Amino acid sequence: MNDYALKELHDIRSNFNKRLKQARATHDDHMVAILGRRVSALDAAIAALEQSTEYYEGYEEGMKAQVPEGWKLVPAIPTDDMIHIARRTSGANTEGIIWIYQNMLAAAPTHHAKDGQGGIISSVVN
């Protein structure tokens, strides 16, 4: 997900750095200032995206550790891809698929994650 965005930001930064070198070579101080600010802004955006990617990956790993074998976390509302598959296989319309899906989730058993001391910290499926 973020790999593509990071690559794009790095490519843009590389382009700005080339233009910055050209501006410095021609002593275009105004362009040097503009491009310097843009490179600094891109550096900040890249750092923020890298940090959020690390956080997300850590969060994702933590969530995997809480999901018991044979269970899956699913969205409360079906995604477009899920609706498409359901429509293709059942012939139901979108509203019907969402209604069925929500009723299936409501009927699903609840598995409680434990805190290691016997206390319940969260429900995996609600």
Residue pLDDT, tens place only, 14-56: 998 999 999 999 999 999 999 999 889 888 888 888 777 666 6
* Residue 80, SS3 per DSSP: helix
Using H for helix, E for strand and C for coil, what is the string for 40-66?
A: HHHHHHHHHHHHHHHHHHHHHHHHHHH
Q: Are 52 and 2 in contact (CB under 8 A)?
A: yes
Residue pLDDT, tens place only, 57-112: 666 666 666 777 777 778 878 888 888 888 888 888 888 888 888 888 888 777 66
For residue 29, the model assigns a pLDDT of 92
Q: What is the C-alpha separation between 121 and 61, in angstroms, rounded?
A: 17
Q: Are 78 and 100 in contact (CB under 8 A)?
A: no
Tell whether the model's pLDDT for residue 9 goes beyond 70. Answer: yes
DSSP 84-124: HHHHHHH---HHHHHHHHHHHHHHSPP-EEE-SSS-EEEES
Domain ranges within the chain, ordered by starting residue: 2-66, 80-123
For residue 120, the model assigns a pLDDT of 46
Output the six-digit token pair for 50. Answer: 């890298």
Q: Residue 68: CA atoms inside 13 Å, Cβ hemisphere, count? A: 10
Q: Are 101 and 82 in contact (CB under 8 A)?
A: yes
The partner residues of 112 in beta bridges, in order of sequence, read 123
